[in-house]
Amino acid sequence: MADSSARVMPTPTGSALPLIGKSDTKPTWCPGCGDFGVVAAVEMAVKRLQIPVHNVVIVSGIGCSSNLPHFLSSYGFHAIHGRSLPVAEGIRWANHGLTVIGTGGDGDGFGIGVGHFVHTMRRNVDMTYVTMDNQIYGLTTGQASPTSTMGQKTKSTPTGVIEHPIDPIALALASGATYVARGFSGDVKQLADLVAGGIQHKGFAFVDVFSPCVTYNKINTFDFFRQRVYKLESAGHDPANIVAAFERSLEWGDKIPIGLFYKTERPTYEDLEEVLAAGPLALQPSGIKGRTAILDEFV
């Protein structure tokens, strides 16, 4: 198991500091929302790894699920719609001693934010991205999202969705994510395991979560998933086999897989960026080294 201490910034005294917990802000989600299970799983995962709360930053975009950073006691950043990942990347590169977790929904991540999603994965930025995939736009009261199924009737598609849905797992595999998993908010224990594994993984870790919207999606409900999901680890799946991972990602119907689809190791963006070799930028001496007469003209 990877050593999560490599991501922890030293403290002035070396004494133990508080771990992540609930904030004073109470969740504003509808009663029964799947996102309650996700915030619990994230908290459980970070606590399990014993990462001091001051070393954790949670970044989100816009949407019901993107309110998540408000409900935990770590540092947080609530970005604009679809822009959580570039903000998270900036935080990682400014101080790559921090543990950075991105959170958001299927609309935020796979709609307006899908370009950032793809490029952050291909860069293999060392962070974890957790999406609460309810297959609907919940915050704007029930329009079809990029993962809504064909034929689904919503406020914006009264006669049924006519667009093919995005497959987040297959897209992540094709784009270069080095840890690809799917959880279900109805199984918080397994979800916490997947999130903890993603945080420990060195590279871009993607955890897509079936997180039912109890108000606007009456098709993809908790019962819908409970009747269909099965765990990859119980089916003998090899997460080192990307071809098998692609095959599993395409399964949708009476049986839908959850668990770890794929995991591999390759250099991260932070490993390859020479500027970061001397340590986190936030801790490097300020100023320009080796100033020349040309630089002096602009300073």
Q: Give CA 182 to chain center in angstroms.
A: 11
Long-range contacts of 185-189 (CB under 8 A, 24+ apart): 185/34, 185/35, 185/36, 185/37, 185/38, 185/41, 185/132, 185/209, 185/210, 185/211, 185/212, 186/34, 186/37, 186/210, 186/212, 186/222, 186/225, 186/226, 187/229, 187/258, 188/37, 188/40, 188/41, 188/44
pTM, full prediction? 0.91
Inform me whether the pLDDT recorded for 142 exceeds 90: yes
The number of folded domains in the chain is 1
**Average confidence (pLDDT) over 22-49:** 97
Assess if residue 10 is contained within a domain: no
- Give the chain's largest Cα–Cα span: 70
Using a 10 angstrom Cβ sphere, with 0-12 exposed, 13-18 middle and 19 or more buried, the burial of residue 247 is: middle
Mean pLDDT in the chain? 92
Percentage of residues in the chain having pLDDT higher than 90:
85
The answer to whether residues 52 and 8 touch, using CB atoms and an 8 Å cutoff, is yes
User: Tokens 């070396």 — which residue?
Assistant: 14
Assess if residue 2 is contained within a domain: no
What is the predicted pLDDT for the residue at 72?
A: 97
Domain containing 150: what range?
27-296
What is the predicted pLDDT for the residue at 281?
A: 87
| Domain at 102, CATH number | 3.40.50.970
Inform me whether the pLDDT recorded for 10 exceeds 70: no
What is the predicted pLDDT for the residue at 288?
A: 64
Assess if residue 143 is contained within a domain: yes
38-81 pLDDT, tens digit per residue, is: 999 999 999 999 999 999 999 999 999 999 999 999 999 999 99
